[in-house]
Copies of this chain bind each other. A is one copy, B any other.
Amino acid sequence: MTVSDNLSDILKAFVSIVGEANALTAAADIAPYLVESRGLYHGTSPLVLKPGSTQEVSAILSLASKTGTPIVPAGGRTGHVGGHVPREGQADVVLSLERMNRIREIDTVADVIVADGGVILADIRKAAEENGRLFPLSLGSEGSCRIGGNLSTNAGGTAVLAYGNARQLCLGLEVVLPTGEIWDGLRRLKKDNSGYDLRDLFIGAEGTLGVITGAVLKLYPQPRGRQVAFAGLDSPDEALALLERASLLCGTALTGFELMPRIGIEFTTRHIPGVRDPLASAHPWYALIDISTSDSAATAERMIDTLLEEAFEAGLVKDAVIASSLAQQEAFWRLRESMSEAQKPEGGSIKHDVSVPVSRVPRFLAEADAAVLALIPEARVFAFGHLGDGNIHYNISQPVGADKAAFIARWREVNAVVHAIVHAHAGSISAEHGVGQLKRDELIASRPAIETELMNRIKQAFDPAGIMNPGKMIGTP
């Protein structure tokens, strides 16, 4: 008996494209492809396909369009919004890019790297480094997420301030369209005004318009100097003023500017082994400042010294420490990056991934805090994030001793209150994690009707059979 004996003729035809060795049909094998890291979604699927080439992806999508078979593309499956999870109760076929993990070329004169869609982000960063270059996209999940997924979700991360999102790091794409046609847009040009910007339409489309099978990515010089500082502040207003000074002083050398609340230091020092408070006394807020310079280590030193000196004089910073070693730089970042993890032992957490114009962050925080505490007086607001991008992970830990399930049950109610304030500040309720299943209906309800209408028309134009990642990002509620 072969793996495909129990499959329908259509599914057998899919298996024959990749070969039985590259198709999963047993429930236990498929199970990891049906879930999302936080357990919010559980889908169903009869088949996982692991094509080994763009041509095989093409054959799969061509057959899918002809037979009306829904396809869910999967990369590293690290997303937080259920975008890579098949729908529940349907027969979506999963198309995993995991075997397409070849770095096709590195060109250090043009400063580009060309990679299959399934290459793991950390492998791209490593290949760049081995060639004396930097690929700046950096995420907590970089050891398992794959570049096709990073591009399909327009991933952000910790270096957006200086280098931009995944969108800004990509020069060209190879995409298999829902019909199976291959669009070879693997350009490596810095300038090309020769038609509509198809590349940026596929980037961030969460696999609803096609499958990204290859990409041309930009490489950057490795910084020669780096300085990381940790500063204690009285308020988000001071953090904003400090950010403005840092931007003016450092320009694009300002690589990271992260905001953290006191409760974040308390939770991380309490729950994450090895994390210590870098400062001697407590402060209501903290900023992590990361500066990278291309010309020399001395420039970064001068910048951080000047910035902190000016900030102390202006009374913006109450206390600060500059990391004195690579290990200490990493320790400061570890503190920041374990914020989410440190919330888990404290019980349930209701989360928001929002952005507002950078100048509105303090007002947003004040208004959201008031609204949330009016709703749940003992709730513990835990707001942190990329202040330089106006992107706040506005999380709320349950009251001490409260019932976790009862708290989590108020997720949508709390979302509604927080998102209303985001909208009042012309912000986005989906800043960097994307839409997927989690925010689809809320976005359809909240964005201008004409915007959803235009998106639906694009979807129809690219995927008339409606096979690509159905139920995600767009459509009708």
Contacts and interface: CB of A to CB of B under 8 A. Distances in A.
Interface of A: 107-112, 153-154, 156, 160, 165, 167-168, 177, 181-198, 200-201, 203-205, 209, 220-221, 223, 240, 244, 247-253, 293-296, 299, 302-303, 306, 355-360, 386, 388-391, 426-435, 439, 443, 447-448, 450-452, 454-455, 457-458, 460-462, 473-474
Nearest to A473: B195
A142 to B, nearest CB: 18
Given A247-B111, A435-B195, A450-B181, A190 B221 contact: no
Given A112-B357, A357-B110, A251 B294 contact: yes
Given A109-B240, A250-B295, A461-B458, A193 B154 contact: yes
A3 B396 CA distance: 65
A165 B183 contact: no
Given A193-B154, A428-B189, A299 B295 contact: yes
A357 B294 contact: no
Copies in the complex: 2
Given A193-B431, A196-B458, A221-B251, 6 more contacts: A110-B358, A156-B191, A192-B355, A221-B249, A251-B294, A253-B294
B190 A196 contact: no
A450 B183 contact: yes
A59 to B, nearest CB: 16
Contacts of A107: 357, 359
A296 B302 CA distance: 10
Nearest to A459: B196
A168 B168 contact: yes
Given A252-B251, A457-B461, A193 B434 contact: yes
A201 B197 contact: yes
Q: Enumerate the 8 nearest inter-chain pairs by beta-carbon distance, A residue then B residue, closest first.
A: A251-B294, A109-B359, A457-B461, A200-B200, A192-B428, A194-B430, A110-B359, A252-B252
Given A110-B358, A221-B247, A192 B294 contact: no
Nearest to A166: B193
Given A184-B448, A247-B221, A189 B356 contact: yes
A190 B160 contact: yes
A358 B219 CA distance: 13
Contact of A302 (B185, B295, B450): B295
A298 to B, nearest CB: 9
A186 to B, nearest CB: 8
Contacts of A182: 450
Nearest to A247: B221
Given A198-B455, A299-B299, A191 B450 contact: no
Contacts of A109: 240, 244, 358-359
Given A455-B198, A461-B458, A153 B193 contact: yes
Contacts of A355: 189-192
A442 B443 CA distance: 41
A189 B253 contact: no
Nearest to A428: B192
Contacts of A192: 355, 428, 430-431
Nearest to A306: B295
Contacts of A253: 251, 294-295
A357 B216 CA distance: 11
A433 B193 contact: yes
Contacts of A195: 204, 435, 443, 447, 451-452, 455, 473-474
A454 B306 CA distance: 52
Contact of A183 (B154, B428, B454): B454
